[in-house]
Chains A and B, each alone.
Chain A
C-alpha cells in the first residue's frame, strides 16, 4: 500500500523495546520503596463454607508483623465490575465461595514473616454443599451461592431478532450441534503485582499491573471509601493482561488498605498459584446451536442457547453472556437469530474477560456448523462463507453497523495464500493420511461503545504538550500499554502529525492522574485513544503554526510542519529574524540549527515565547450506537474487525496427537498504524487460540480445588508446539477510526479454534465437541467411528 505517511503504517520499533531488551524497563514487582512492607493474603482452603470465626491474634503477635486486616477493617460494602452486580467484598466475612476466596491480609517487614503470619490466622469454617457443575447450577434444589442470584443465575439474556420460524421454513438444511469448553487461564507471564503508598495528605498512589487504571481508581475509591481525587493508579511496564487484569482485584484493594492503615509503602505480588486462584479468565461455555441454511447456501436462521459457568462472582460476566450472543450477528448476513444465555455462579474462581471476550467458543461452534452444512450441501466451506459475508455499510440483525468490512478480502487472502483449493482438492485422494486443512472467520468489536458504569464520560482524553525549551513533545494519556504497544501507537500518531521523529516524542501513559481513559479492554485503544492523540497533536500544531505565522506575518494556513521543520505551502519565507532570536538565547550551545529552514525546535520555542504553554488536547466519545432492546449496548462499537484463517494439521491416527503445521491468518485492522505490531497481535492470538483448542484447561477436583495451578501442568504452547504463522494484513479504511484504523488485538483469535477443529475433522473424519481436543478425545472418537463403521 502506498501512502504519504512517514511514520504511520511502517515497522517502527516499539518505543519501549530497548528498555525491555536491556532489563531497564520497570515492571511493578521491580519497584521498591524505602521502609516498604510486604503483603500476603489468606485464601480460603474450602470452596464453600460459612465463616464462624476469624482469629488473627497469633499473627498479630508475630515480630515483624505491622498490620493484619480482615472484613472488620475493610467493611462489607459490596463492589464489583458492573454496578448492577456488585457481589464481592474486599474480604469474606460470613461466607467463602471458592478455593482462593480472600479472608485476610498481612503487612510485615519481610515476605517470609508475612507468609508465616498468614499461616497463623485461624479460621473456623462450617462447610457448605458445593455447586461445581455449571450445567446443573440452575437446577432446583441446588445450594445457592448468593441471595441475589435466584437459582444461581447471575445474568440471563433472551433475544429475538427477525423471525426464526420464518427462517426455519425457508431452510433446506437444518442442524443442531453442541460444544463445551473448560475454564481457562490467561497465563500472562507477569503475575499481578501491586505497590501502594500514601503521603502526608492521604493521597493514595497505587502502582499495579492493571489494564484499566481508571476503573480501578474508581473501585478503590468506592470500596475503600477514600476520596476519588486522592486515589492515583499508575501502571508501570506490564507483562501482559489479556483480560483478567481489567478488573480491580482483592490484591489491589488489600494492598491499598494496608498502606492506608500502616502509612508505609506496601508491595504485594501474586505467586503463580495465586494467578490461577484469582482467575477472572475465560468462562466455561456450553453452547447449543441450531442453524438453518437455504438451498443456495445462504443463512436462514440461528437459534442459540448458552450456559456460561462463571465461578463464584459476577466480575465481567454480564458482558460475557451478552457478547456470547451478540457477536454472532456478524460477519455473515443473518436476518433471524434467537439467543438465550445464562451465566451461572458456581464454587470456583470467578471468570471474567479474556481475549475475544465471550465470543470465542460461540464462534467456534458456529464455524464448525458452517463446515458441516457445507458438507451436506456439497459446497466448498470457503465458498459457503463467501456467499454469506457482509459488506461495508450493512447492519446486522442485532443492529450492529459495519462501517468498514474487509471480510471478503480476508477470506480470499487466506484461501489463496494457503493454496486452499489445491490442498482441499487432494482430500481423500493422494493426500497423506492424517493431513487436514480447515478454515473459519471471525468478527469482533473495536471498542465497547459504552463504559461499564452508566455515564456519558469521554472514553479518553489526551494532552500533548510541547517542551517549553523547544524541541520535545510529551503525550500524556491514561491509556494502558499492557504489552500490545499502545504507547508506540500514541508516539507514532503524534510524530506523524507534528512532522517530528519518534525520538522527539515521549509518551507518559498508564496513569489515572494524566487523563481518564477507560483502559485496555474490548480492543478499544487504537481507535479511541488514537483518535484523541491525533486531535491533541493537531491542536498543538495549530498553536505552533499560528504563533510562528503571527511573527512572520503570513496566514497560518500557508505553513505546515514536515520532516522536523516549518515549511511554507506558498512563497518561500525568510526565517532569519526568528533564527537570530533563537541563536541569541542559546549562546554556548553547540548543536544549533543552521539549515535555511526553521526547525521544529525553534518553532516550538518561539510558540512558547509568544503564547506561553503550548498544549493541545483531544478526546473521544463514541456516538450513540445500538438498538433499544435490553442489553443492546453490549456488542455495539464504532467499528468492527474481522478475520479469516486457514489451519493445516497432521493428526497421528494411532495416538490422536495433533500437530499444527501452519496457520495462515488475515485480519482487517482498517489501517495498520504499525505493521509489525499488527502481525504481533495476530501471532499472539493464533497462539492463544491454538492452546485453547488443543491443550488448555483448568482442572478441578471434587472439592473445587485446581489440580493444575502451575505452568507445567496447565499447558500453553511452547516454541516447539507453534508452527510457522503467516499474518496477512487487510486494510479497509475504517471511517470512524484514526487514519482508518480499528482493532486487531482480539478479533484475530476468533477463527483460530474452529479453523483447527475443522482441519482436524478434514484429517480424521471425526468431530470433537469438547474442548480442548486432547489426543485421548480424538482416539476415543476414532474408535467410535470405526465401531460404527463395522
Chain B
C-alpha cells in the first residue's frame, strides 16, 4: 500500500505516493529525477548516496522514503545557489579532487555538513568525517586538500 508523504528537497516541497519499502535514494533518483545522488552499493558500505536529512548526513540507500516524511533533504543538486558553486564545489573542481566523480556527490554532502559543524577542521577531523565515503580514484589526497582549502576560503 502506497503512502503519501511530503518532504522538501533542496527547498522545494514535494508530495508523493510511495511504497513503504521504497528507499529515499530511489525516490530521489527515479521519482524526482535527481540522479546526482549515486548508488555504489545499496547497502550502506560506500557513502556514494549520502544526502543531508535535516542537515545530518544520511545514506539514502538505507533510508526509507517514508522516514523522510516532513524532513528537509539536501542533495548535490542543491549545493550551487543561483548557479554559483559553493566554496567546497569550487575547491573540488580546482584542486583536482574529482576524477571519475562517482564519489563526489556523497563526498560533497558529507563535507558540507562537516564545515557547517566545524568550520576549521584539522586534517584528522577531515579524514574522520569522510571515512564513510569510499573513493577509488584519488587516494583521498586531493579531496582532503580541497576540503581544507574550502574551509580557508570561507574565512577570507
Chain A residues with CB under 8 Å of B42's CB are: 271-272
Is B103 close to A, CB under 8 A? yes
Chain A residues with CB under 8 Å of B132's CB are: 718
Q: Are B96 and A189 in contact (CB under 8 A)?
A: no
Is A577 close to B, CB under 8 A? no
Q: Measured between alpha carbons, how far is A725 from B76 in the docked complex, in Å?
A: 28
Q: Are A688 and B136 in contact (CB under 8 A)?
A: yes
Is A485 close to B, CB under 8 A? yes
Q: Are A23 and B131 in contact (CB under 8 A)?
A: no
Q: What sequence of 0s and 1s flags, for each residue 717-746 of chain A, a beta carbon within 8 Å of any chain B beta carbon?
A: 111101011010000000000000000000
The 7 closest A-B pairs by CB, nearest first: A23-B36, A483-B100, A239-B102, A20-B101, A683-B139, A687-B139, A30-B35
Chain B residues with CB under 8 Å of A718's CB are: 131-132, 134, 140
Neighbour of B136 across the interface among A26, A684, A727, CB < 8 A: A684
Name 12 extra pairs, CB < 8 A, besides A189-B135, A190-B38, A720-B128. A27-B102, A29-B39, A30-B35, A237-B101, A238-B100, A242-B136, A676-B142, A680-B137, A683-B142, A687-B140, A716-B134, A722-B139
Q: Which of A10-18, A529-537, A768-776 contacts B (4 or more CB under 8 A)?
A: A10-18
Q: Measured between alpha carbons, how far is A683 from B144 in the docked complex, in Å?
A: 12
Q: Measured between alpha carbons, how far is A271 from B78 in the docked complex, in Å?
A: 27
Q: Are A21 and B93 in contact (CB under 8 A)?
A: yes
- Within B1-46, the residues touching A (CB, 8 Å) are 29, 34-46
Q: Are A189 and B48 in contact (CB under 8 A)?
A: yes
Q: Measured between alpha carbons, how far is A22 from B94 in the docked complex, in Å?
A: 14
Is A686 close to B, CB under 8 A? yes
Tell me if B's interface is mostly helix, strand, loop or mixed. Answer: loop
User: In this complex, what residue of B is CB-closest to A718?
Assistant: B131
Q: Measured between alpha carbons, how far is A688 from B140 in the docked complex, in Å?
A: 12
User: In this complex, what residue of B is CB-closest to A682?
Assistant: B139
Neighbour of A684 across the interface among B36, B133, B137, CB < 8 A: B137
- Within B57-77, the residues touching A (CB, 8 Å) are 75-77
- Within A233-273, the residues touching B (CB, 8 Å) are 237-240, 242, 271-272
Write 8 A-B pairs (CB below 8 A) sorted by A numbering: A17-B101, A23-B75, A23-B105, A187-B136, A677-B96, A710-B43, A716-B134, A719-B128
**Given A21-B108, A687-B140 in contact, is the A13-B96 Cβ separation under 8 Å?**
yes
Is A482 close to B, CB under 8 A? yes
Chain A residues with CB under 8 Å of B104's CB are: 20-21
Neighbour of A240 across the interface among B43, B79, B136, B140, CB < 8 A: B136
Is B52 close to A, CB under 8 A? no
Is B50 close to A, CB under 8 A? no
Q: Are B101 and A687 in contact (CB under 8 A)?
A: no
Q: What sequence of 0s and 1s flags, for each residue 188-213 of chain A, a beta carbon within 8 Å of any chain B beta carbon?
A: 11110000000000000000000000
**Given A22-B76, A720-B127 in contact, is the A13-B93 Cβ separation under 8 Å?**
yes
Q: Are A18 and B131 in contact (CB under 8 A)?
A: no
Q: Measured between alpha carbons, how far is A24 from B76 in the docked complex, in Å?
A: 9
Q: Are A684 and B139 in contact (CB under 8 A)?
A: yes
- Within B80-108, the residues touching A (CB, 8 Å) are 80, 85, 89, 92-96, 98-105, 108
In angstroms, how far is the closest chain B Cβ from the Cβ of A10? Answer: 12
Is B143 close to A, CB under 8 A? yes
Is B138 close to A, CB under 8 A? yes
**Given A22-B80, A687-B139 in contact, is the A676-B100 Cβ separation under 8 Å?**
no
Chain A residues with CB under 8 Å of B45's CB are: 272, 710-712
Q: Which residues does A use to contact B, with CB under 8 Å?
A: 11, 13-14, 16-18, 20-27, 29-30, 186-191, 237-240, 242, 271-272, 482-485, 676-677, 679-680, 683-684, 686-688, 710-712, 716-720, 722, 724-725, 727
Q: Measured between alpha carbons, how far is A717 from B130 in the docked complex, in Å?
A: 12
Q: Measured between alpha carbons, how far is A746 from B12 in the docked complex, in Å?
A: 45
Q: Measured between alpha carbons, how far is A21 from B36 in the docked complex, in Å?
A: 9
User: In this complex, what residue of A is CB-closest to B130?
Assistant: A719
Query: Which among B36, B102, B104 has the greatest number of chain A C-beta atoms within 10 A?
Result: B102
User: In this complex, what residue of A is CB-closest to B78?
Assistant: A23
User: In this complex, what residue of B is CB-closest to A186?
Assistant: B136
Q: Measured between alpha carbons, how far is A18 from B102 in the docked complex, in Å?
A: 13
Q: Are B134 and A189 in contact (CB under 8 A)?
A: yes
User: In this complex, what residue of A is CB-closest to B90?
Assistant: A21
- Within B136-156, the residues touching A (CB, 8 Å) are 136-144
Q: Are A22 and B85 in contact (CB under 8 A)?
A: yes
User: In this complex, what residue of A is CB-closest to B144?
Assistant: A719
**Given A22-B36, A23-B34, A722-B140 in contact, is the A189-B131 Cβ separation under 8 Å?**
no
Chain A residues with CB under 8 Å of B96's CB are: 11, 13-14, 676-677, 679-680
**Given A23-B37, A725-B141 in contact, is the A190-B102 Cβ separation under 8 Å?**
yes
Chain B residues with CB under 8 Å of A25's CB are: 101
Chain B residues with CB under 8 Å of A676's CB are: 95-96, 142
Chain B residues with CB under 8 Å of A22's CB are: 36, 76-77, 79-80, 85, 89
User: In this complex, what residue of B is CB-closest to A14?
Assistant: B98
**Given A13-B94, A189-B135, A239-B101 in contact, is the A21-B89 Cβ separation under 8 Å?**
yes
Query: Which among B126, B130, B140 has the greatest number of chain A C-beta atoms within 10 A?
Result: B140
User: In this complex, what residue of B is CB-closest to A714?
Assistant: B45
